[in-house]
Amino acid sequence: MSGTKILIGIGALILGIVLITTALNYLENGSYGRDLATPVDFSESSIDIKITFYEDRLELVRAYHDSMNNEKTDSELREWIRNHDLRGFANLQYNTISGTEPHPTNAAPSCHVHVMRVRGQNDTDRKRTLGHEILHCVHGEWHPESSH
């Protein structure tokens, strides 16, 4: 299979996941919920999305804390898990000009999504989380500050 066909297939899969996630959320909640931030304009470029799947929630939570340079012991992470419901996270980054200020209009952004591995086609919770985190790659952050 050619590289172009694979990329088109991956793009279609990601779009399908986002659409299904949106539909499931609407059916479950009866509304679309909070408004999303204005999408980043990728008309002049593209976005690279890397997805890391985890088998173990402790490893997902460790990656979350590592992404914030917040080192914790396994014991501290297990305690944190008891008090939080982290199912995934995404880090959107712009390449920078000069190394300090992001320049979204001139940059090729990348996004790293971290989620638990989807166990099968009926694993709607993990599929919803994957779509949710991919939406962060396009819309950025929209959670209330208190949810961090």
Give residue 146's pLDDT.
44
What pLDDT band is residue 148 in, cutting at 50, 70 and 90?
Answer: very low
Quote the mean pLDDT of the chain. Answer: 76
- The span from the CA of 42 to the CA of 99, in Å, is 21
pLDDT in tens, 61-117: 999 999 989 989 999 999 999 999 999 999 988 765 555 555 555 556 788 999 999
pLDDT at 5 over 90: no
What confidence tens digit (pLDDT) does each residue in 9-46 have?
Answer: 666 666 666 666 655 555 454 455 555 556 556 555 67
Say if residues 58 and 65 touch (Cβ distance below 8 Å): no
